[in-house]
Structure formats: structure tokens, C-alpha cells
């Protein structure tokens, strides 16, 4: 497995511009491969940061993340929900990162698929009840800390990120934040990696039309990005960014929530649990994920 991780990282060289359209203002929003890598490093760090200090091997020591200050860390083992709220002064950003699943218990929550009507502000919207349960467990304190930081640092942007279950919670947070605090939308960016489908078409379509940048990143045939199934009433949000063949071939997939020229072009025989561990930027933190999920993922 180490060899496959190293290959994925080596393929991700140089800076590639990925452009999308700010739907509200008809402006071009640019994401670079450097940013995709950077916020995946923060997503990976959520597996390792265990307290109020920015100390962990690999991801906490990179040029992108060094000097980050942790403002709040949570760890709710039975829910499951883990992550941190942090800020970085030289780049003027507030980062909230949710950790992915690391135990079979997490995956039980991942596949508690019964839809739950949420939020009230979106007509017909329903989301995965297990994901919402995990998000809500820590949401109140997270929002309180974020509100304080946004007030303290009025020129900082707000970045939400997460891998796997963490990406699902980051997606729910983005919707929660902008429905409860619409003024936050102008400062918000959402980067997820290997997230499962979170909600139904009403949820997805509403989110896809929001003005803040969304980069739902998928690595090759990552199996987790294909669950819950569309046939079960779930739908991804735009915008998908697909690593079609490792980090060397990055495709921006436009405003279609389920683009059949991107990962959906693959057959189920091409879906891969191992690809879920190979996102450029996760670094060696994925070993922690792998050890806890080998049986659950069928690897």
C-alpha cells in the first residue's frame, strides 16, 4: 500500500488551474491543484491532531500548514465525530476539518441510510440520518467558535474540509452555516475528498446553486464516492473534481451534480476501496485510516 500512496503523491506535480463559475455573480472561481492538495492535507491532519496544539507527523509539518493555530478540537468517540477548528494568520484563513472514519463503528453510522428531512429552509430536502447525527453532535460548539473567529478576523476566509465521513460532515456544515448565517457565504469555501452522497436531489440541487466555491474531489474509482446509491434517492452536489488517472489527470466536471463524463463514467467493476486512501495530500495519515477500516472496506 505504501508504494501506491507514493505513486499518487509523485503524480501530483505542478500547478493546474481548475475553473468554475460563481453562479450568483457570474464570476470565474479558480482552484489550483496546490489548493486541492493543501486542503487535503488539512483533511488528513484531522486523523492525527489530538488536542489544542498543531502537532502531528507529516501533514502538520508541511509548508502549507506549518504555523496553523488550533482554536478548538473535538473527539466524540461514540458518535462518531472528530476534528478541529483552526486559523492561519499568514494566509488569512479559518479552517474547519472533520475526520473520516477509522473504525467499523464509524461505518455503521455511515450506512445508517434512512433519510431525515433537513434543513427546514430547503423545501423537500432530506439527508442521510447517520451523517446528520454525527454532524449535530459537535455542531453547536463548532459554530460558536467559528462565529468568534469570523468576528475577530474580518478579512479571513472560511474553509471547510474533510475526507470520507468528514467530507459528508463538512458538506452538512456548509449548508447549516449559510442557512443560519447567510452572511458567512461570501467568505466560505468547501473542499471535500472521497465524500459519500449526503442528501437527496432537493438538497443537492440547492447546494449546487450556492455562490460559494465547492470542490467535491474524487480520486479515480473511489468506492465511497458511489454510496449511498443514486437508486436509493441520494445525489451528489456539484462541483466534482475528478482525478481520472492519479494526480496527473485532473478534470473539473462542471455544474452537473452527477456528471457521467467523470467518475460516474466508470462501471462498478472499476470502483476501488483502495482509491479511497490515495488522495494527494492525505499523506501518511491514511495509514491510521487503513488500519481501522481494512475489514470494513473489504481491503
Q: Which residues are tagged catalytic?
A: 164, 222, 276
In this structure, the number of other CB atoms found within 10 A of the CB of residue 83 comes to 30
Q: How far apart are CA 133 and CA 6, in angstroms?
A: 35
Q: Are strands 17-22 and 157-163 parallel, antiparallel or unpaired?
A: unpaired
DSSP letter string over 177-217?
Answer: HHHH-GGGGGGEEEEEESPPP-B-HHHHHHHHTSSS-EEEE
Q: Which residues of 129-153 are buried (b: 16+ CB within 10 A; e: fewer)?
A: bbbbebbebbbeebbebbeebbeeb
Task: Print the SS3 string covering 225-242.
Answer: HHCCCHHHCCECCCCEEE
Q: Which residues of 90-126 are buried (b: 16+ CB within 10 A; e: fewer)?
A: eeebbbbbbbbbbeeebbebbeebebeebeeebeebb
Distances (CA, A) of 50 to 67, 97, 203, 289, 294: 16, 13, 32, 15, 22
List of residues 6+ apart from 271 with CB closer than 8 A: 221, 222, 223, 226
Amino acid at each position: 500500500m505504501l508504494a501506491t500512496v507514493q505513486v499518487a503523491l509523485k503524480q501530483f506535480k505542478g500547478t493546474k488551474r481548475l475553473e468554475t463559475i460563481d453562479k450568483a455573480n457570474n464570476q470565474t472561481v479558480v482552484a489550483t491543484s496546490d489548493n486541492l492538495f493543501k486542503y487535503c492535507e488539512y483533511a488528513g491532519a484531522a486523523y492525527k491532531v489530538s488536542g489544542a496544539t498543531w502537532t502531528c507527523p507529516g501533514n502538520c509539518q508541511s509548508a502549507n500548514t506549518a504555523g496553523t493555530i488550533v482554536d478548538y478540537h473535538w473527539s466524540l468517540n461514540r458518535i462518531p465525530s472528530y476534528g478541529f477548528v483552526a486559523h492561519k494568520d499568514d494566509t488569512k484563513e479559518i479552517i474547519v476539518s472533520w475526520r473520516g472514519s477509522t473504525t467499523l463503528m464509524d461505518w455503521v453510522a455511515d450506512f445508517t441510510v434512512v433519510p431525515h428531512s433537513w434543513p427546514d429552509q430547503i423545501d423537500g430536502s432530506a439527508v442521510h440520518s447517520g451523517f446528520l447525527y454525527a454532524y449535530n453532535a459537535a455542531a453547536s460548539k463548532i459554530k460558536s467558535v467559528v462565529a468568534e473567529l469570523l468576528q475577530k478576523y474580518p478579512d479571513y476566509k472560511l474553509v471547510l474540509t474533510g475526507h470520507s465521513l468528514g467530507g459528508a460532515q463538512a458538506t452538512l456544515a456548509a449548508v447549516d452555516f449559510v442557512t443560519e448565517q447567510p452572511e458567512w457565504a461570501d467568505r466560505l469555501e468547501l473542499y471535500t475528498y472521497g465524500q459519500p452522497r449526503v442528501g437527496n436531489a432537493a438538497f443537492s440541487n440547492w447546494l449546487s446553486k450556492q455562490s460559494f466555491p465547492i470542490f467535491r474531489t474524487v480520486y479515480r474509482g473511489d468506492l465511497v464516492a458511489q454510496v449511498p446509491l443514486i437508486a436509493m434517492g441520494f445525489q451528489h452536489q456539484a462541483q466534482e473534481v475528478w482525478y481520472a488517472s492519479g494526480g496527473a489527470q485532473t478534470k473539473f466536471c462542471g455544474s452537473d451534480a452527477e456528471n457521467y463524463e467523470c467518475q460516474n463514467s466508470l462501471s462498478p467493476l472499476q470502483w476501488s476501496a483502495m482509491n479511497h486512501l490515495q488522495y494527494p495530500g492525505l499523506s501518511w495519515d491514511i495509514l491510521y485510516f487503513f488500519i481501522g477500516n481494512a475489514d470494513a472496506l473489504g481491503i
